[in-house]
Amino acid sequence: MNINQIIYFIKHSLSNIRHSLLVNFVTISTISIAILIFSSFVMIIFNLTNLVSKFEDDVHIVAYLNDDFVSGYENIKKNILKLNGVNRVRYRSKEQALAIFKSSLGKNDRFLDDIPHNPLPASFEIRLENDFKSKAKLKGIASALKTMRIFDDISFGQEWIEHFHNFLNILKVIGTAIGAGFLFAAVFIISNTIKLTIYARRDEIEILKLVGATDGFIKAPFLIEGIIQGFLGAIISIAALYVLYLMFLAKIQALSFVGINSTNMPFLPPKFLALVLLFSVLLGMVGSAMSLGEIIKG
């Protein structure tokens, strides 16, 4: 293949598109919708995965001290630090706990004045090594703490993270199923568009064959047409996704308490966008290639 042939292929695939604008419009729209739905799911899953891994980084144990213990905190802290997997330990006294609680109440803290004594327990916030953040390991550390018989309660936030993981997995399955359905439809529509083009150009294909064109030479413009459809479909869907993303951010930022912004909920990174583009181009090629067997016949 030389540069003249490549120019010929591109010229003819563009002319194919120009000659059947409506059909190509429908095809490219279908690809855009398929890729938009697919990449929306990718973005949602990408952001939720990021979010959950941030929460996982934050996983720690809080051990609430029995009120009978009013001294010896340093020794307790040392003993906790000796446990396998413990990274850092911070003591929070009853007074500190109350102060934090008060500040979280804001203007409504007055009712605390009526309480005769501080009901909040002192606690140890226990930070763990990264390898010790799984549910099983957390449970191991918690039961080791229990054997010290000085804590009323031991809590760790792993439960709901596991629930969140399950939710994420369900979302992945749904996303994959819906995405696959639309992608299948897109491939089907592309292959039919190309079939229509092949049918419209059957005289030309016959003549090309008779004057000695190779199968590859005849097929190339149709493959390129599929690639162009895939490429344009991806560009349109990425642009639409970005617009939707900006609209979503604008809406959610208005609800200031949610605290979501473009930093903690970023758009798909360039690497993902490149993959979406590549995937869409492949989709166009596959859809087109599926119809090209027709050319060999006869």
Q: Which is nearer to another protein, 135 or 202 (CB)?
A: 202
What distance in Å separates the CA atoms of residue 73 and residue 114, rounded to the nearest whole number? 29
CB 229, min distance to another protein, A: 22
Q: Which is nearer to another protein, 38 or 222 (CB)?
A: 222
What distance in Å separates the CA atoms of residue 35 and residue 95, rounded to the nearest whole number? 55
CB 272, min distance to another protein, A: 38
- Put the strands of the sheet holding 123-128 in their side by side order: 86-92, 123-128, 60-65, 151-156
CB 167, min distance to another protein, A: 54
CB 288, min distance to another protein, A: 20
Q: Which of 58, 90, 204, 274 binds another protein (CB under 8 A)?
A: 204
Name which of residues 100 to 139 contact another protein (CB under 8 A): none
Per the listing, tokens 């605390």 go with 112
Q: Which of 53, 78, 206, 262 binds another protein (CB under 8 A)?
A: 206
- Tell me if 245 contacts another protein by CB under 8 A: no
Q: Which of 99, 174, 207, 282 binds another protein (CB under 8 A)?
A: 207
- Tell me if 143 contacts another protein by CB under 8 A: no
* C-alpha distances out from residue 176 to 42, 45, 51, 72, 184, Å: 9, 11, 20, 55, 12
Site string for another protein, 162-201 (x = CB under 8 A): ----------------------------------------
- Tell me if 214 contacts another protein by CB under 8 A: yes
What distance in Å separates the CA atoms of residue 27 and residue 284, rounded to the nearest whole number? 10
Q: Which of 147, 203, 263, 271 binds another protein (CB under 8 A)?
A: 203
- Tell me if 8 contacts another protein by CB under 8 A: yes
User: What is the per-residue DSSP string for 207-273?
Assistant: HHHHTT--HHHHHHHHHHHHHHHHHHHHHHHHHHHHHHHHHHHHHHHHSGGG---TTTSPPPPHHHH
Q: Which is nearer to another protein, 5 or 50 (CB)?
A: 5
- Taking the mean position of all CA atoms in its chain, how far away is CA 296? 42
| Pair 287, 186: CB distance under 8 Å | yes
CB 294, min distance to another protein, A: 16
- Tell me if 14 contacts another protein by CB under 8 A: no
Q: How many CA atoms lie within 13 A of 127 on its CB side?
A: 7
Give ∠ CA 84-87-91 in degrees, rounded to 5. Answer: 110
Q: Which of 208, 249, 275, 290 binds another protein (CB under 8 A)?
A: 208
- Tell me if 217 contacts another protein by CB under 8 A: yes
| Pair 70, 77: CB distance under 8 Å | no
Count the site residues for another protein by CB under 8 A.
Answer: 18
- Tell me if 18 contacts another protein by CB under 8 A: no
DSSP secondary-structure letter at 66? P
Binding residues (CB under 8 A) for another protein: these are 1-2, 4-5, 8, 203-204, 206-215, 217
